[in-house]
Structure 1
Amino acid sequence: METDKRPPAGGGDGCLVGVIRIPVKIVAVLVVLPVRVVWELLAAGGRAVHRHVLGPLYVHAVEPLLRALGWLLTTLLKLVFVWPWVGLWRYVLVPVGQGLAWLWRGLYAQVLAPAGRFLTAYVLRPLGEALAWLGRGGMRYLLAPLAKGVTWIGWALGMTLFVWPWVALWRYVLAPVGRGIAWLAAAVYRYVLTPVGHGLGWLAVAVFRYLLRPVGLGLVWLVAALYRYLLRPVGLGIAWLAAALYRYVLTPVGQVLVWAWHVAGRIAGALWRGLKWAGRVLVGWPASRVYRHVLTPVGHAAREVWRTGRAAVREARATVRRALFGTPPVEPARSRARTLGSTTAADAAPADEISLSRRQG
Structure 2
Amino acid sequence: METDKRPPVGGGDGCLVGVIRIPVKIVAVLVVLPVRVAWELLVALGRAVHRHVLGPLWAHVLEPVFRGLGWLLATLFKLVLVWPWVGLWRYVITPVGRGLAWLVRGAYDRLFAPAGRLLSTYVLLPLGRALAWVGRGGLRYLLAPLAKGVTWVAWVLGMALFVWPWVGLWRYVLVPVGRGIGWLAVAVYRYVLTPLGHGLVWLAVALYRYLLRPVGLGLVRLAVALYRYLLRPVGLGIAWLAHGLHRYVLTPVGQVLVWAWHVSGRIAAALWRGLSWVCWVLVGWPASRVYRYVLTPVGHAVRDVWRTARAAVREARAEVRRALFGAPPVEPARSRARTLGSTTAAGNTPAPEISLHERQG
TM-score exceeds 0.5:
no
TM-score (norm 1): 0.39
Q: If you compute each CA radius of gyration, which structure gives the higher value, 1 or 2?
A: 1
TM-score (norm 2): 0.39
| Higher normalized contact order (CA 8 Å, seq sep 6+, divided by chain length) | 2
